[in-house]
Amino acid sequence: MKPLISIIIPVYNSEKYLVKCLDSVTEQTFADFEVLLINDGSTDKSGIICDEYAAKDSRFKIFHKENGGVSSARNLGIEKATGDWICFVDSDDYLGKEFLFSFKINIQSNCDFYLQSADQIKKSKKSTFYKYSHSIYSPSKFFNIFSLYPYLSMPWSKLFRLKIIISNNLRFDSKLARCEDMIFNLQYLSYIDCVKTIQNTGYIYRKEDNSLSSKIYPTTFYQEIISRMKIHFKELLINDSCITKNISYQVKNFLNSIYLNNYKLKERIMFLKYADNHFHNELLYIFKNGKGRGRICHFLLKKRLLWLFDSFYYYTNYARNY
């Protein structure tokens, strides 16, 4: 008999936190689930720990694969899942005991996407990451109330209907170095009509210093991400002001990448012209409430004085780093 919920847990060198994560799954008050442990080529004891849990609990299934990244691991989990619903859990996070039960009692609402509140723990201190009330929204209304970050920038603390993912061939893009989970969520939203938020805080996100978040990506990477985000928002019939609010975060990453990559002046101006042509409003949004330097940046961008903006932004933010 197939389970109601499939839990997909990508695992890579997470032995430090893995036992706590898996114990929190076994302690769930709702028991009709399967766990798909995708060991993505771990070189520590993570694979052994996964084998031990699979040996003592038939609900745990372990799949060992060569390292291919978190997207390929999640995609394998999707292909192996047999439940009506799936949720994703990161192997360094853990769950409250009522996490699955809170989803189970809410799926009677006949929505296709459920989002549960989450806490974060950083340096042993727990705090609220995001908090919902019990409410039902259309995707467009959801974005009018909540921003993309952090509510839809991660795949965890959410419940997806598996048949929608399979029938529309939705997968995480393994070619993306980051933001693949956000793109997946946006794609999923374009196939549904109803989103329900849940007040219960059942997911605990472990906030660690992440080398990926500090990695410098080429500016062309952010060009692609922003372009794809805009396409998905248009599909969701999101209004322009809401698109501007939600895309501005990545536009700021785009802007900073121009200088972090240490491009020459000609290349910097080329990227600034691209930004001015494709997301001028988002650039203004970044600096619209700024004071001092931010106000000057807003004025220069509004007047499209890109050469002056480049000189001012570079020397006030980055020149001292070179």
Summarised one tens digit per residue, pLDDT across range 115-157 is 999 999 998 899 999 999 999 999 989 988 888 888 999 999 9
* Predicted pLDDT of residue 322: 35
Cβ atoms 37, 61 nearer than 8 A: yes
Check residues 305 and 241 and name the one with the higher pLDDT: 305
What pLDDT was estimated at residue 321?
Answer: 43
Segment 100-115 mean pLDDT: 95
pLDDT of the residue at 294: 92
Closest C-alpha among 85, 57, 89 to residue 74: 89
Q: In the chain, where does the domain assigned CATH 3.90.550.10 lie? A: 5-210
Determine what percent of the chain is predicted with pLDDT higher than 90: 84
| Angle, vertex CA 236, rays to CA 86 and CA 119, nearest 5 | 45
Element (H, E) at 286: helix 280-287
* Cα distance between residue 224 and residue 39, in whole Å: 29
> Please, are residues 195 and 146 in contact by the beta-carbon 8 Å criterion?
no
Q: What is the pTM of this model?
A: 0.92
Q: Check whether the bond before 3 is cis (ω within 30° of 0).
A: no
Query: Considering only 103-117, 225-239, 307-321, which range has the smallest mean pLDDT?
Result: 307-321
Confidence check: pLDDT of 320 > 60:
no
| pLDDT over 70 percentage in the chain | 97
What is the distance, to the nearest Å, from the Cα of residue 118 to the centroid of all Cα atoms in its chain? 13
- Phi first, then psi, for residue 134 (nearest 5°) are -80, 105
- Kindly report the CATH class assigned to 5-210: alpha beta
CA distance 161 to 147: 22
Q: What is the mean pLDDT of the chain?
A: 93
Residue type, 245: K
How far apart are the C-alpha atoms of 87 and 231, rounded to whole Å?
Answer: 25
CA–CA separation, 314 and 319 (whole Å): 6
Reported confidence tier of residue 158, pLDDT bands at 50, 70, 90:
very high
Question: Dihedral (C-alpha) 11, 16, 20, 22: value to the nearest 10 degrees?
Answer: 20
12 near 41, Cβ under 8 Å?
yes
